[in-house]
Amino acid sequence: KDPQPGDSSEFTYSFLELSESEPTELKSPDQWDKLDAVLKNGKRKYVITFIHGWRNDASLKAPDDRRFRTLLTYSRQFLNHRCRNEQRYCDTQLVGVFIGWRGALIEEIGENYSFPAVLWTFWNRKQKSEQHGEGIIRHIKAIESRLHLDPGNPGADKMLVLGHSFGGNMLATALQQCLTGEGNLNVFCGED
């Protein structure tokens, strides 16, 4: 159903989870198919893409998932406020895309985990986040290609990309590839 002004909870939520063994591929291709159907439904979109960090994963129990849902709720309230007060963004579908990867190597249950064991995973997960840089950019560009972006035009689709912790490291790694001329420039710099 379309959100109405004053409805603070309506948004579409999708998971895209990167494969541990193939860093540029999704763990399950049907995740993209579901998101793609939403992106192509003809409605104006405000897409917020979030890449989670270390010690999280693409699951409903992950702390970053709860934080992202909170951000989406506040974003929906903001869009509703703009609709009521400025008659803008009234017909905009808010889409949250949680990009996941295996940021946690061990399961942390309550306070019963050993912090030194968790700390041991830091370098391993940092390296894996850098390997996922190309995959992140490919999927972000695929999302972007479905949108009609026009900066400054309130009637156009909007997209915001956030990365937390090693999710931010993935974005920074990809940007570094573009700025230094390393890696596949068609992927990282959008020259294709």
Summarize pLDDT for 63-114 with one digit per residue, the tens: 788 889 999 999 999 999 999 999 988 889 999 999 887 656 555 555 555 5
Cα dihedral 68/173/140/150 (nearest 10):
100
Amino acid letter for position 157 = D
Confidence at residue 148, expressed as pLDDT on a 0 to 100 scale: 94
Confidence at residue 70, expressed as pLDDT on a 0 to 100 scale: 92
What is the enclosing helix (H) or strand (E) of 144? helix 133-145
> Do 84 and 77 form a contact (C-beta atoms < 8 A)?
no
> What's the chain's Rg over C-alpha atoms?
18
How far apart (Å, rounded) are the C-alpha atoms in residues 20 and 135?
11
How far apart (Å, rounded) are the C-alpha atoms in residues 67 and 147?
25
Confidence of residue 37 (pLDDT cuts 50, 70, 90): very high
Q: Among 16-20, 85-89, 175-179, whose mean pLDDT is lowest?
A: 175-179
Rounded to the nearest integer, the mean pLDDT of the chain is 79
CB atoms within 10 A of CB 176: 14
Confidence at residue 192, expressed as pLDDT on a 0 to 100 scale: 44
Summarize pLDDT for 153-169 with one digit per residue, the tens: 888 999 999 987 877 77
How far apart (Å, rounded) are the C-alpha atoms in residues 121 and 102?
11
**Residue 144 pLDDT more than 80?**
yes
Confidence of residue 184 (pLDDT cuts 50, 70, 90): low
**Residue 6 pLDDT more than 60?**
no
Summarize pLDDT for 112-138 with one digit per residue, the tens: 555 566 666 776 777 777 777 777 888
**Residue 2 pLDDT more than 60?**
no
Confidence at residue 1, expressed as pLDDT on a 0 to 100 scale: 43
